[in-house]
Amino acid sequence: MTVTGPAYTKPSHALMYNYYLGGKSWSGVDAQAAIEVVRSSPDVPAVARENFRFAGRAAAWAVKHHGIRQVLDIGVGIVHDIPDDGVERCVRAVAPQAMVLGYDIDPVVLAHARAWRPGYGGVLRGDIRDLDSIFNHRDAADLIDPTAPTVVVAAAVFHFVSKPAAVMAELRERLAPGSVVIVSHATSTGTEQSRVDGMTESYDETRSPIRFRSEAEIRALADGWDIVTPPGLAPVESWSVDGTYQRGPYETVRVVGMAARAGAERVA
């Protein structure tokens, strides 16, 4: 099936990610940019795969462990042609009746979702910087209960956002107690600065610059939340609550992840 979307001359990070994961949805300009990133940091495809697996594993854990039945996957990306199971499949494996909604800002991602996943709970246009576009989306109103705990997945999306702490604080206010947010983020901690600079420069040429943050900055995104510990904030390739998942380690690029739970008290 050919999916037509807007024609872009600059690479899309969503399609570069699809390239890293072994998908087939990218164009030449995306592949060229992705190859340049891999040249500075050869671990990128392996870490991208581990990030993808982390998102599914952590969401499934939260749903199963806390009995949550609604999941919002914000910045869902293109998943239909990826060899591994994404968030939706991982969640349905433990909770077949769960409502799973995907959101993305990229029109090409939405075009792929419409073409390939008509049976999916839904992939809607939503911008994580504007939570009204997510929570007040007219197609989501009847599907999501705002008074019930929710799992929000924000995997590999905050490094494309300038003020992620404000988004996390607003999520904390909006979500019901007991909700869980799954976050992963590229970090500058533990990687040579020259590699971080190389990747940052490559992404400057795309439609969405990337911002690496230190582990301390990423941990601070969960201020007002309870970070699930163990494992706390951990490399995506070794994040698991029971300590049984262990791959890597990777050094030429590092992505760390965490699950953070909203306690009974809402943040004022």
Ligand X SMILES: C[S@@+](CC[C@H](N)C(=O)[O-])C[C@H]1O[C@@H](n2cnc3c(N)ncnc32)[C@H](O)[C@@H]1O
Contacts of 175 (CB under 8 A, 6+ apart): 149, 150, 152, 181, 262
Per CB under 6 A, contacts with ligand X among 146-185 are 155-157, 160-161
Binding positions for ligand X, 12-71, rule CB under 6 A: 13-14, 17, 51-52, 55
Q: Is 128 in the site for ligand X (CB under 6 A)?
A: yes
Closer by beta carbon to ligand X, 51 or else 191:
51
DSSP 28-96: HHHHHHHHHHHHH-TTHHHHHHHHHHHHHHHHHHHHHHHT--EEEEET----TT-SS--HHHHHHHH-T
Of the pair 222, 236, the CB lying nearest ligand X is at 236
Query: Nearest to ligand X by Cβ — which residue?
Result: 75
**CA–CA distance, 153 with 151 (Å, rounded to integer):** 6
Q: Over the range 231-257, which residues count as b (16 or more CB within 10 Å of their CB) and which as e?
A: bebbbbbbbebeeebeeeebebbbbbb
Q: x/- string (CB under 6 A) for ligand X, residues 84-123? A: -------------------xxxx--x--------------
Q: Which is nearer to ligand X, 34 or 68 (CB)?
A: 34
Nearer to ligand X, 87 or 95 (CB): 87
14: which residues sit within 8 A by CB, 6+ positions away? Answer: 77, 78, 104, 106, 108, 109
**By CB neighbour count within 10 A (0-12 exposed, 13-18 middle, 19+ buried), where does 204 fall?**
exposed
Q: Shortest distance, CB of residue 165 to ligand X, whole angstroms?
A: 15
Of 48 and 68, the one with the shorter C-beta distance to ligand X is 48
Q: Which stretch binds ligand X (CB under 6 A): 60-68, 127-135, 197-205, 213-221?
A: 127-135
> Which is closer to ligand X, CB of 98 or CB of 128?
128
Which residues sit at the interface with ligand X, rule CB under 6 A?
Answer: 13-14, 17, 51-52, 55, 74-77, 103-106, 109, 126-129, 155-157, 160-161
